[in-house]
Amino acid sequence: MQIKNHEDGSLDGTAGFGNSPDEALEDTLKYFMELINDYEQLYKRELNEEDVEWSAFEDF
């Protein structure tokens, strides 16, 4: 899942780092939640379906 930039439609994705898969997943989720909070503060509204783009698992 990626969040669309409200101004130009580009996609903002996330990645996580860690010494184990669990640490990397935790870091990814933490960063993603920060991205959502930043978006909501910047645009003064919650995300909706038009604000995100889903990736198929086949893409990975």
| Cβ-contact 25, 16 below 8 angstroms | yes
Prediction pTM value: 0.72
Residue 60: predicted pLDDT: 67
More confident residue, 55 or 21: 21
- The token duo for 60 is 């990975």
- Spatial separation of the C-alpha atoms in residues 33 and 26, rounded to whole Å: 11
Structural domain count, the chain:
1
- Read off the pLDDT of each residue in 25-53 and give the average, rounded to a whole number: 91
Domain that residue 38 falls in: 2-59
Over residues 5-35, the pLDDT tens digits come to 888 989 887 888 999 999 999 999 999 999 8
- Read off the pLDDT of each residue in 30-41 and give the average, rounded to a whole number: 91
Residue 33: predicted pLDDT: 92
